[in-house]
């Protein structure tokens, strides 16, 4: 199986994960007026198909042990932990997609993924202490400030949104209640709490007498996403975070483009996921470290926020104060991620 043998190779994989994880959510918007609960069925299919394709290509390269060899010798407990990681991630990611539908990428990612980064870095470091702890946890602290700054920007936007006035029975014009920022922030926070737990489970799956390879982990992970999606999606279809309940038959009424964007979104995330797992499995002397690998992958926050701000114009027309908060949050994220990425160099 393909495993990079240089620090630069591992770092490039972590950066590839950052780009993929920060870009896949664009497919939810490119799918048009397509409920995220329906989008997610195709997303899970794309993720599993991509994991299988990578396992039987990159996972079988070279003369070393192959993906199939590794799957046949690792313990069932390890496979179960990898699948548990996929199940936890899937619920977290579905909540994140729900948060995007409510609040947009520029809000959901900084809050949800930022919190996940802090939790994941701390837990991964406790399981496998690599890197300078001052830089790791100092960077995590800066990212917490970025989360709070983003949440404040979203609150300002929601409170300043113009709401139409309606006339009451007496003919007087009264303003409708302003939209609340609570739902979008709450969904992002719950997503972040769960999202921060999946990568440490991946690390626990790896650690045993026989190490579970990254391609085996990716396959079990993707299989769990595929198997749990009907359960989670049907729940959100009947108890939606926004709008009216939706029936399953609507899935079969979608256009081929809507289904295709879901598959593409899952494949993009899978490429980033495999890149992260492989980067964390490089030889110890050139390894960026699981905590740093995960943190760089979660630098997707920067990428997704820039997509939301610059391409989708999610803060167009927002008060200047809100924009100041958002750009301040971006600077804080850059500073926090820089500290985390330098941690292995000053171990």
pLDDT of 347 above 80: no
pLDDT at 39: 94
Alpha-carbon dihedral sign for residues 207, 213, 215, 219: negative
**Which run of H or of E encompasses 36?**
helix 36-55
pLDDT digits (tens, 9 = 90+) for 140-169: 888 888 878 887 887 788 777 655 544 455
Q: Are 138 and 335 in contact (CB under 8 A)?
A: no
pLDDT of 306 above 60: yes
The Cα–Cα gap between 99 and 183 comes to: 8
Sequence-ordered list of residues with C-beta below 8 angstroms from that of 13, at least 6 positions apart, any chain: 4, 275, 276, 278, 279
pTM above 0.95, yes or no: no
Average pLDDT of span 206-234: 93
pLDDT of 83 above 80: yes
3-state secondary structure labels for all residues of 173-207: EEECCCCCCHHHHHHHHHHHHHHHHHHHHHHHHHC
pLDDT band at 180 (very low <50, low <70, confident <90, very high): low
The Cα–Cα gap between 347 and 111 comes to: 29
pLDDT digits (tens, 9 = 90+) for 36-81: 899 999 999 999 999 999 999 999 987 678 999 999 999 999 999 9
pLDDT of 27 above 80: yes
The Cα–Cα gap between 305 and 313 comes to: 10
Residue with tokens 């939790």: 119
Mean of the per-residue pLDDT values for the chain? Answer: 84
pLDDT band at 3 (very low <50, low <70, confident <90, very high): confident
Sequence-ordered list of residues with C-beta below 8 angstroms from that of 136, at least 6 positions apart, any chain: 121, 125, 291, 292, 295, 339, 340, 343
Instruction: Please indicate whether residue 234 or residue 299 has the higher confidence score (pLDDT).
Output: 234
Highest-pLDDT range among 23-27, 52-56, 117-121:
52-56
Q: Are 275 and 13 in contact (CB under 8 A)?
A: yes
pLDDT at 179: 47
pLDDT of 172 above 80: no
pLDDT band at 18 (very low <50, low <70, confident <90, very high): confident
**Which run of H or of E encompasses 28?**
helix 26-30
pLDDT digits (tens, 9 = 90+) for 229-249: 999 999 999 988 888 899 999
Chain Cα centroid distance, residue 85: 13
The Cα–Cα gap between 260 and 126 comes to: 40
């Amino acid at each position: 199986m393909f495993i990079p043998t240089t620090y630069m190779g591992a770092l490039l994989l972590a950066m590839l994960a950052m780009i993929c994880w920060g870009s896949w959510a664009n497919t939810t918007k490119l799918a048009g007026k397509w409920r995220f609960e329906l989008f997610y069925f195709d997303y899970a299919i794309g993720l599993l198909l991509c994991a299988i394709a990578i396992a039987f290509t990159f996972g079988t390269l070279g003369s070393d042990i192959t993906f199939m060899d590794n799957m046949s010798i690792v313990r069932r407990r390890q496979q179960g932990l990898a699948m548990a990681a996929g199940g936890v991630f899937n619920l977290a990611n579905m909540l994140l997609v729900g948060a995007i539908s409510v609040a947009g990428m520029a809000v959901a990612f900084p809050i949800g993924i930022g919190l996940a980064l802090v939790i994941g870095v701390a837990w991964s470091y406790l399981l496998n202490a690599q890197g300078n702890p001052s830089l790791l946890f100092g960077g995590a602290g800066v990212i917490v400030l970025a989360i709070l700054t983003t949440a404040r920007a979203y609150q300002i936007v929601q409170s300043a949104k113009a709401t139409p006035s309606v006339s009451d029975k007496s003919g007087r014009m009264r303003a409708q209640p302003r939209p609340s920022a609570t739902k979008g922030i709450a969904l992002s926070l719950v997503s972040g709490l769960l999202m921060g737990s999946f990568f440490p489970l991946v690390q626990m799956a790896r650690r045993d007498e026989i190490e579970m390879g990254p391609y085996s982990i990716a396959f079990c992970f993707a299989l769990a996403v595929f198997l749990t999606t009907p359960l989670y999606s049907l729940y959100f279809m009947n108890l939606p975070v926004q709008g009216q309940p939706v029936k399953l038959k609507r899935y079969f009424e979608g256009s081929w483009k809507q289904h295709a964007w879901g598959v593409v979104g899952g494949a993009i995330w899978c490429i980033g996921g495999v890149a992260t797992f492989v980067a964390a499995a490089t030889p110890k002397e050139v390894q960026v470290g699981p905590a740093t690998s995960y943190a760089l992958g979660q630098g997707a926050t920067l990428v997704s926020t820039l997509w939301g701000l610059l391409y989708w114009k999610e803060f167009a027309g927002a008060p200047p104060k809100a924009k100041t908060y958002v750009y301040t949050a971006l600077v804080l994220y850059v500073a926090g991620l820089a500290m985390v990425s330098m941690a292995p160099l000053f171990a």
